[in-house]
Every structure is written in C-alpha cells, then in structure tokens.
Chains A and B, each alone.
Chain A
Amino acid sequence: MMQMTGADLIVKLLERQGITTIAGVPGGAALPMYDALSKSEQIHHVLCRHEQGAGFIAQGMARVSGRPEVCLASSGPGATNLVTAIADAKLDSIPMIALTGQVPLSMIGTDAFQEVDTYGLTIPITKHNFLVRSAKDLLSVVPSAFRIAMSDRPGPVLIDVPKDVQNQMVSFEEYPDVVVPDAAPVFDIAAIEEAAKMIEAAERPVLYLGGGVIHSGAAHMAVTLAEQASLPTTMTLMALGAMPMDHPLSLGMLGMHGARYTNYVLEEADLLICVGARFDDRAIGKTAEFCPNAKIIHIDIDRSELHKVKNANVAIAGDVGQVLSELLPRIKPQLRKRWLSHVESLKSRFPLAMPGVDDPRSPYGLIHAVANCLDDSAIITSDVGQHQMWVAQAYPFRRSRQWLNSGGLGTMGFGFPAAIGAALAAPDRTVVCFSGDGSLKMNIQEMATAAQEDVNVKIVLFNNQSLGLVHQQQSMFYGKRIMASRYERPTDFLKIAEGFGMRAVDLDPAANPRAVLAEALQTRGPCLIHATIDPNEFVYPMVPPGAANSEMIG
C-alpha cells in the first residue's frame, strides 16, 4: 500500500512516463506541485519568464522528440497565458500535456483570487481536458492524458488540478501501467488496392505530403513511394524535410508562397495523392480551383479530415506509415518520362526566384549563408511572417523534425521558446531560430531562460523595423496605406540580449558578415545574430488570400 499527496502522485506518474524536463512558472495554486517537484531527482524544471514561453518550450521538446512533453502553470493568469501555446499545439497536432493549478474545489465558481474557468476556456483548443476532482482520479487521469496526447492524431491535453486535490492524501496498491499509444485504426485493404490501381493508371500524378508524414515517422516510406512510382512530390509547410529539398522529385512547398512551377504542376495533375495533409487554405488557395482535373487519394489518421475540404475518390483512415507499408508492395515501378520531363520544363521556366541569394545582407542570401555554416543535424525553427516564408522556400531541409514552425495557428513568438525546447531535447545539436523583429518581441523575455539554461540556440534576427507580412499585404492589397505595420522607433536588440545575459553580434557593421556569422553559429551557447533587412523586400510569389493558386503575383 502506497500513500502520498496528489501532487507527489502527479510527479511520480510523470517520471514513470519518462518525463525528464518540465517548463513552467510557479504560482499560488501550483505550489504543492512545485513542492513535489523539489523532491524529484529525475525531472529538471526550466523556469520560464512567461507561461506562453513555457508552453512553446514544451512544444519545442515535443516537436523534436515526437512524444508528449509537459508544461506547468498556476491558476488564473498562469493558465490564460498558456492558452496560445495550447491552441498552437492543437492546430499543428503536437502531443503536449499542460498541467495547471486551480483554486480549491470549494472555491470554484466564487470568483476566488486567480480563479478562471480553465477547463471551459480550453475545451475548443485541446484534444481533451480534465478537471480533477479527487486525488485518486489522478491514477487514471494522468496516464489517460498521455495516451490521448500521443494516440491517433496527436494533440494537447490539459489537466487542471485544484490546490486541495494536490494536497489530498491518496492510498493505492500499485502504480498504473506506463501508457503507450493506442493501436492505429484498422483500414480497408481493398481501398489500398484501389489506390495502387489509380496510381498505376495516372498519367500526371502528384504526391502531396503533410505534417502527418512527420508525426508518423513515415518520411522514408513516402520518399520510396515517390521514387518507385515516379511521383513529383510537394510538401506543406509542416512537412518540409520529409523529402530532401534537393531530391530530383521534390517540388518544394506548395501554396500561397510556393514556387510558380509547383502550383502549375498541381494545376495539371490528374491524380493527387494526399498523405497526412488537410487541404489547408494557405496550401490550396481557392478550393474549387485546386487541382481542378485531379482525382484524389486521401490518407489520414483522422477520419474527420477525409472529405472535409475536398471530396476524395479513395479515402483511407489509417496511420500514414502503416498505410504506406501496405501500399508500397502494390506499386508497380514506373518511369513516367513524359510527365517528369514536362515537370522539369515547368521547373526551368518558372523556378523559385531568389534575388540576392549571393548577398548575405539580403533575406535569401542570409538564409543560404546560415545553411552553409550548418549540416543536416542542425534544427531550424522560425517565427511567423516574411522570414518564415523565405526560410520555408529557401532553406535546404533534408530530414524530418529538422524544421519546427507554427503552421496552423501562425503564432508570432513561437520560434525562440520552441528553439529553447528543441535545444533542451537535443543538447548536442545546434538550434537556429530565424525570427523577425515583430515576432521576437513577443517572447523576448525568454532570452533570460536561454541564458540561464545555456542552451545552444542562435537567433538570426531579420530586422526590418516592421510587421513585414502586414506591411507587404497593405502595400499589395490596401493601396499602400501603411497602417500600424511600421515601428516608428528602433529597438536596440543587441543591448536587450546583453541585458538578459545573452551574447549578441551584429552583421550590419561587419566587413565580412559571413565570417561573423560562421563564428557566432559555431560558438556554443545562446547568441543573437542581428541583421537589418530592407522593409521593402517582399515575399514572392504570393497568392492573394482567397484566390486560386494559379493567380500568383511575382
């Protein structure tokens, strides 16, 4: 018979689930959990400067490790500050456990100090959530939370624990079993055979990979499928790295900022094989005009994604890796010389233009200069905006989980704390966060956390003193009426970084910016690398929001 408090039980159950790092911020209603953590020899607590930072650090760890990671906050503002990071994890299907303290059960509903309805607030942004009413319930709730977060389509799970439940004594015979993901849904082999026939019969097929390929660990199988059936392959923002960018079959990223030839190839397709993607509006543009002549095969573990945006001719609800392993032996090798040479000619006629790629003081040039200093083991994160799209277009991603970014929610402020999390999960790797001056300011306080943890994170800051993508859209679609997208006063980011105890280098005055960049990237520890970018540099091509992908500008 074991006896302990609810808080001690939570920590023991996290340890049994293999958790070694938790990111959080303490507060009154979470104090029993923090007291329990003080006794843990396994778990390292990373003290963040804002709960949103803690949420994104947990996400960064989970995006690298592929398993649920944990963030911790107190009640009220602690919980509301976590909300953005939880919603972000939901939209990108990231397994995460958010633990929050809550006021004691007897005070719930009385507008107690730091009381907010965390359970109610997080219903639409979690895969599932719990309000724990008794310490003995933790024996089932904590393992269930892990199981739900990592089974099927992954996602965030929140556990709200009132302070008296954390202090309540609970007796039990033995610990619950360590949980593993549920078996993936069983799928129909007849549908696989139908899909194989459609691939064989197609003349102009295109393979369209999404983040599900990464989550399922199926990138190598997707590449094999492409090679065996000679399928030109495009990737969503979330799938970059699934197929190496320099692979001869790679079409790069599709959609709003995809290369012209990529969207033209899709326009001509007679078969679209969508694997672990969800026909997001930024990827497909105007729904009715996306792949207008193509039949569709859609493979996704989430049944509710099938036929959601586009009706599929063959829809298979299953784990992408399992489905592909059944599909591969049924695929007849084909050369498709005609289609591939046509794709090649579109590619040479309408390539991705990268002006300034040889100049490290221009956006594409800086991205290439960074890539030239690194190998494929580096992890690249980005914030949200122009720099994100330039990196997505131009960085030579070559493996799964090399690229972490906020795809679905598009959260400015994601990149830097996610990079800290990535570095905590993979301490031997160099982690580079491409950011903009707008995004970086949204979680800049985590510089203190990065300095404290001495993580190997480099921020490459594209500073155009603007909210660049807003500025771009106002210039293009709102008659150049620039409203609230220029920062009137410059910010001295170098002083800020140094104030937080982080090293900072400036490429602007450097006679040889490549050398300064290389030195900064190769020196271990956190560092800010500052570069001024012209605010009139725009991301091209661009599909106007809501327009068809064929209506690209630039």
Chain B
Amino acid sequence: MSEQNTNLSEFIPDVPEHAGFHKVVLELGVANHPGVMSHICGLFARRAFNVEGILCMPVGGGDTSRIWLLIFEDERLEKMIKQVEKLEDVLYVTKHDGEHPVFGRLDEFFQ
C-alpha cells in the first residue's frame, strides 16, 4: 500500500482575495463596560478583516454604547455580521451604506 502513495501530497488551498472597494457602515448597540471593544475588534482582526474607522460613545444613561464601524464590503461580511451578533454584549447590528454621514464630518480631523 505504502509504495503507491509516494507521489501523493497534501492540498493546501490558496488564500482567496477578500476585500472589495465599496465601503459599508455598521451600527452596533452594545453593553457599556470595559472589554466590549476588544471583543468586537478581536473578531474582525483574527479574520484579517480591516476596520477603517471606529466611533464609540455611551448613549442614554450610560448602560449602553453605540459603536460605528467603517469597513470595506467583503464577501464575508454577512457571515461576519452573524458572528458579531452572537457576542453576548452586542444588542443589535444595523448595516448602512458607506455614504452614511456619521463619518463624513470627521475628515477635517484627519487632514
């Protein structure tokens, strides 16, 4: 048996191209306590999913926060959103298009 196997090899798949060019804005409602941001950013980072912009402020009485993420559209985005929704501290996720004004007026701080 072993003789005939000498030409076999493992198949290691290539890394597919992921990122597109269209921007998307995600709005997240989250519980407001230390560590929530690392849960969310870690989820993107370990899938090599680049986050272009982040805004976060507490809302209402401070028990919850809202996080805005600016990212490039990616074929994995829908799967990514499902993973974010699974996080215990994430209350909701809403997807907006990249023209959403929340990041618009920030440009002047990054000149």
Q: How far is the CB of B44 from chain A (nearest CB, A)?
A: 12
Tell whether, in the assembled complex, residue B5 and residue A302 are in contact, meaning their CB atoms are under 8 Å apart: no
Q: How far is the CB of A86 from chain B (nearest CB, A)?
A: 15
Beyond A120-B38, A123-B42, A554-B1, whether A303 also contacts B10 by CB under 8 A is no
Q: Which of under 10, 10 to 19, 20 to 34, or 35 or more describes the interface residues of B?
A: 20 to 34
Task: List the A side residues contacting B78 at CB < 8 Å.
Answer: 307
**Which of A62-70, A204-212, A224-232, A542-550 forms part of the interface with chain B?**
A542-550
Is B94 on the interface with A (CB-CB < 8 A)? no
Contact of B79 among A123, A128, A302, A304 (CB under 8 A): A304
**Which of B20-28, B65-73, B82-90, B103-111 forms part of the interface with chain A?**
B82-90
Q: How far is the CB of B98 from chain A (nearest CB, A)?
A: 24
How far apart are the CA atoms of A546 and B8 in the complex, in Å? 12
Q: How far is the CB of A129 from chain B (nearest CB, A)?
A: 8
Tell whether, in the assembled complex, residue B10 and residue A544 are in contact, meaning their CB atoms are under 8 Å apart: yes
Tell whether, in the assembled complex, residue A302 and residue B86 are in contact, meaning their CB atoms are under 8 Å apart: yes
Is A148 on the interface with B (CB-CB < 8 A)? yes
Contact of B1 among A120, A148, A540 (CB under 8 A): A540
How far apart are the CA atoms of A536 and B1 in the complex, in Å? 11
Tell whether, in the assembled complex, residue B5 and residue A553 are in contact, meaning their CB atoms are under 8 Å apart: yes
Q: Please provide the chain B residues from 6 to 53 with a CB less than 8 Å away from any CB of chain A in the complex.
A: 6, 8-13, 34-35, 38-39, 42, 46
Tell whether, in the assembled complex, residue A546 and residue B12 are in contact, meaning their CB atoms are under 8 Å apart: yes
How far apart are the CA atoms of A123 and B36 in the complex, in Å? 10
Task: List the A side residues contacting B10 at CB < 8 Å.
Answer: 473, 477, 544-547
How far apart are the CA atoms of A307 and B85 in the complex, in Å? 16
Beyond A119-B35, A123-B42, A540-B1, whether A479 also contacts B6 by CB under 8 A is yes
Tell whether, in the assembled complex, residue B83 and residue A553 are in contact, meaning their CB atoms are under 8 Å apart: no
Task: List the A side residues contacting B11 at CB < 8 Å.
Answer: 286, 544-547
Is A443 on the interface with B (CB-CB < 8 A)? no
Chain B interface residues (CB < 8 Å from chain A): 1-2, 5-6, 8-13, 34-35, 38-39, 42, 46, 78-79, 82-83, 85-88
Q: How far is the CB of A234 from chain B (nearest CB, A)?
A: 23
> Which A-chain residue is minimally distant from B11 (CB atoms)?
A546
How far apart are the CA atoms of A308 and B79 in the complex, in Å? 7
Tell whether, in the assembled complex, residue A476 and residue B5 are in contact, meaning their CB atoms are under 8 Å apart: yes
How far apart are the CA atoms of A480 and B39 in the complex, in Å? 44
Contact of A553 among B8, B13, B39 (CB under 8 A): B8
Task: Tell me which of B2, B46, B78 has the highest count of chain A C-beta atoms within 10 A of its own C-beta.
Answer: B2
How far apart are the CA atoms of A308 and B86 in the complex, in Å? 14
Q: How far is the CB of A389 from chain B (nearest CB, A)?
A: 16
Q: Shortest 9 CB-CB distances between A and B: which pairs?
A: A546-B11, A304-B82, A128-B88, A545-B10, A476-B5, A477-B10, A547-B11, A123-B42, A477-B9
Q: How far is the CB of B61 from chain A (nearest CB, A)?
A: 17
Mask for A394-425, Cβ within 8 A of B = 1, else 0? 00000000000000000000000000000000
Mask for A135-172, Cβ within 8 A of B = 1, else 0? 00000000000001000000000000000000000000
Task: List the B side residues contacting A536 at CB < 8 Å.
Answer: 2
Task: Tell me which of A129, A476, A480, A545 has the highest count of chain B C-beta atoms within 10 A of its own C-beta.
Answer: A476
Q: Please provide the chain A residues from 77 to 130 with a CB less than 8 Å away from any CB of chain B in the complex.
A: 119-120, 123-124, 127-129
Beyond A124-B42, A128-B88, A546-B12, whether A480 also contacts B6 by CB under 8 A is yes
Additional A-B contacts beyond A303-B85, A475-B2, A545-B10 (9; CB < 8 A): A127-B88, A128-B87, A129-B35, A131-B35, A148-B88, A304-B85, A544-B8, A544-B9, A545-B12
Tell whether, in the assembled complex, residue B82 and residue A476 are in contact, meaning their CB atoms are under 8 Å apart: no
Mask for A527-554, Cβ within 8 A of B = 1, else 0? 0000000001010100011110000011
> Which B-chain residue is minimally distant from A285 (CB atoms)?
B11
Q: How far is the CB of B83 from chain A (nearest CB, A)?
A: 5
Q: Please provide the chain A residues from 252 to 308 with a CB less than 8 Å away from any CB of chain B in the complex.
A: 286, 302-304, 307-308
Q: How far is the CB of A288 from chain B (nearest CB, A)?
A: 10
Would you list 27 pairs from A and B whose C-beta atoms are within 8 A, ordered by A residue?
A120-B38, A123-B35, A123-B38, A123-B39, A123-B42, A124-B42, A127-B88, A128-B88, A129-B35, A303-B85, A303-B86, A304-B82, A304-B83, A304-B85, A304-B86, A307-B78, A308-B79, A473-B10, A476-B2, A476-B8, A477-B8, A477-B10, A480-B6, A545-B12, A546-B12, A547-B10, A553-B1
Task: List the B side residues contacting A303 at CB < 8 Å.
Answer: 82, 85-86
Tell whether, in the assembled complex, residue A124 and residue B8 are in contact, meaning their CB atoms are under 8 Å apart: no
How far apart are the CA atoms of A497 and B11 in the complex, in Å? 41
> Which B-chain residue is minimally distant from A480 (CB atoms)?
B6
Task: List the A side residues contacting B39 at CB < 8 Å.
Answer: 123
Task: List the B side residues contacting A540 at CB < 8 Å.
Answer: 1
> Which B-chain residue is minimally distant from A473 (CB atoms)?
B10
How far apart are the CA atoms of A475 and B3 in the complex, in Å? 10
Contact of B13 among A129, A131, A480, A546 (CB under 8 A): A546
> Which A-chain residue is minimally distant from B88 (CB atoms)?
A128
> Which B-chain residue is minimally distant from A144 (CB atoms)?
B88
Q: How far is the CB of A535 from chain B (nearest CB, A)?
A: 12
How far apart are the CA atoms of A173 and B34 in the complex, in Å? 27
